């Protein structure tokens, strides 16, 4: 392949790049806004799920602590009797 053939291919590639088909790649302002709104909604849903998960984990930890405290208190009461 000589330099002329390469130049022709480069020109064709550039022509394809500037074609009307490439205009489909451009986003209108409302498209960007819609995407931002969708991203915000998804982020809020993820945050809510994570907060619910953290709240549940804290609840379970508190329940385990309370059960342990009850066992310790019951064990201490048994020791006092003997």
- For residue 11, what pLDDT is reported? 63
The pLDDT value recorded for residue 33 is 92
Residue 29: pLDDT over 90: no
Taken as a whole, the chain contains a residue count of 82
pLDDT at 26: 73
> Can you give the pTM of this predicted structure?
0.55
Query: For residue range 32-81, what is the model confidence (pLDDT) as tens digits?
Result: 999 999 999 999 999 999 999 999 999 999 999 999 999 999 998 888 77
Residue-level pLDDT at 27: 74
């Amino acid at each position: 392949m000589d330099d002329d053939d390469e130049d022709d291919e480069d020109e064709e590639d550039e022509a394809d790049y500037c074609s009307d088909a490439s205009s489909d790649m451009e986003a209108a302002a409302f498209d960007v806004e819609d995407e931002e709104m969708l991203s915000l909604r998804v982020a809020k849903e993820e945050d809510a799920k994570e907060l619910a998960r953290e709240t549940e984990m804290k609840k379970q930890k508190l329940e385990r602590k309370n059960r342990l405290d009850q066992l310790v208190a019951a064990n201490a009461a048994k020791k006092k009797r003997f």
